[in-house]
Amino acid sequence: MKSLVVQERGCDASRLEALLTVCGPCVIAPDGDAAIREFRGALREGEPFDFLCLDLLQAGSGWREVARAIRDEEGRYPLLGSQARVLVTTVLKDDHRTLACLREQCDACMIKPVEPRALFACIARLGLLEEAWNT
């Protein structure tokens, strides 16, 4: 499973990177604009990301713009297979944006701090855990 974490460098990014690297390659993008560039480049190379973890309050292009951009990019490369699964993380509880992310082409939302058991349960629900262990 190839992962892209969109999170400013720091404790959260390092922790997610350490957890996700167990499942395969993991790239950290410090903001939404860098994430779009990374995603686009991976598609062009024929090695798309399987899983994206987007910070709701990220710098640069916001989560909504990133989600739309990656879905647009995936539409340009339909022969590469299925869509990446997108998890949005947030420190905001009961925020209207939390529900909106699920309507905006994202697959799941999780409140920070992200706990390992919850992260892997989410990845399993998204159908990626078995794939991750087979790589």
Q: Based on the number of CB atoms within 10 Å of its own CB, is 123 exposed (0-12), middle (13-18) or buried (19 or more)?
A: buried
Of 9-13, 91-95, 98-102, the one with minimum mean pLDDT is 98-102
List, for residues 12-43, the tens digit of each pLDDT value. 888 999 999 999 999 999 999 999 999 999 99
Closest CA to 50 of 26, 79, 17, 76: 26
Residue 127 falls in which region: left (phi positive, over 0), alpha (psi -120 to 50) or beta: left
pLDDT grade, residue 135 (50/70/90)?
very low
The Cα 47–Cα 80 span in angstroms is 8
Residue range 3-133 forms a domain whose CATH class is alpha beta
- Residues 109-130 have a mean pLDDT of 90
Strand partners, 81: none
pLDDT grade, residue 100 (50/70/90)?
low
Q: What is the DSSP string of the chain?
A: --EEEE--TTHHHHHHHHHHHTTS-EEEESSHHHHHHHHHHHHHTT---SEEEEETT-SSS-HHHHHHHHHHHHHH-GGG-SPPEEEEEES-SS-HHHHHHHHTT--EEEESSPPHHHHHHHHHHTT-HHHHHT-
pLDDT of residue 34: 94
pLDDT grade, residue 103 (50/70/90)?
low
pLDDT grade, residue 56 (50/70/90)?
confident
